[in-house]
Amino acid sequence: SPIQAACIPHLLAGSDLLGEAQTGTGKTAAFALPLLERLDAGNRQPQILVLTPTRELAIQVAEAFQRYAKYLRDFHVLPLYGGQSMIVQLRQLQRGAQVIVGTPGRVMDHLERGSLKLDGLQALVLDEADEMLRMGFIDDVEWILDHTPATRQTALFSATMPEPIRRVARKHLRDPQEVKIKAATTTVATIRQRYWPVRGVHKLDALTRILEVEEEFDAAIIFVRTKTATTELADKLEARGYSVAALNGDMNQALRERVIEQLKSGSLDIVVATDVAARGIDVARVSHVINYDIPYDTE
């Protein structure tokens, strides 16, 4: 993809990188592949650290590293995020992992405890930096940057470049190469889009009416902003007679996979999800996508 073509040579050459690119552009491979290329697989200590805003993204990036490193012997990647048992993480850290993917808070915890040592760190990636800024993590990110070797290679990726992110880049990146990938059109031409202005208190009634009058309706994904909203809305729709389930990052992987299977097989018609949890879902019978809450960003 364009971002891979632009980033891989710079990262292979050891340069710092400032990348402006949306989610879904193939960004993970753009940094994971060149960094893996320069990894010393015989050395079990952390050499690559990737910071992500959410646990879902941390898991996704860790899984991608695992896939790309399929043929590297004795390769280990470890996701570190809040909400997962500290004991499990401490045990895995003792065993050693060359790649650590984590959320800022939990990575900070381990650095302060001394359970995560970054003396041998070669590369650090800040993924979706603007998201980390919006979620209030940017001070933690700066703290982590200050506690890593000055010799490390740094790559910062962000969909937008607000001033606080530029400031972090100026302070922590050395003479970075800049890569900017313009987003293509955000919607596929075959999708018909409509919007309905409605007051907040009437949203549920409006949604119920849309579901009642849409003749071509087979299955739908309904997007909401928060994890709690997924279960709340799913319960309300179920009470109105729909076969519906919630899909969010608090559910374990097995449960999430079961929901998708049910949607594919037709035993479920509606999934109420957060955009992060629904990444990469491919279900042929989905005829409708409804943004119950307006998404944070256009992508």
Question: pLDDT digit string (tens) for 239-279?
Answer: 999 999 999 888 887 888 899 899 999 999 999 998 776 76
Q: Are strands 48-51 and 286-291 parallel, antiparallel or unpaired?
A: unpaired
Q: pTM for the full model?
A: 0.68
What was the pLDDT predicted at 182?
76
pLDDT at 283 (0 to 100): 85
CA distance 91 to 85: 10
| 81-133 pLDDT, tens digit each | 998 889 999 999 999 999 999 999 999 999 999 999 999 999 999 999 999 99
Summarised one tens digit per residue, pLDDT across range 210-225 is 999 988 889 999 999 8
290 residue type, one letter: I
Q: How confident is the model at residue 280 (pLDDT cuts 50, 70, 90)?
A: low
Q: DSSP string of 142-187? A: HHHHHTS-TT-EEEEEESS--HHHHHHHHHH-SS-EEEE-----SS
Please tell me the predicted confidence (pLDDT) of residue 279: 67
The neighbouring-strand residues paired with 79 are 101
Q: Is the pLDDT of residue 24 over 80?
A: no
* % of the chain with per-residue pLDDT over 90: 71
Question: Which pLDDT score is estimated for 228?
Answer: 93
| 39 neighbors 72 (Cβ within 8 angstroms) | yes
pLDDT band at 298 (very low <50, low <70, confident <90, very high): low
For 209, other C-beta atoms within 10 Å of its C-beta total 13
What pLDDT sits at residue 94?
95
Closest CA to 157 of 16, 277, 13: 16
Rounded CA gap, 293 and 229, in Å? 10
Query: In sequence order, what are the residues at sequence separation of 6 or more whose Cβ sits closer than 8 angstroms to the Cβ of residue 88?
Result: none
Note the pLDDT of residue 109: 96
Other beta carbons within 10 angstroms of residue 151's beta carbon come to 8
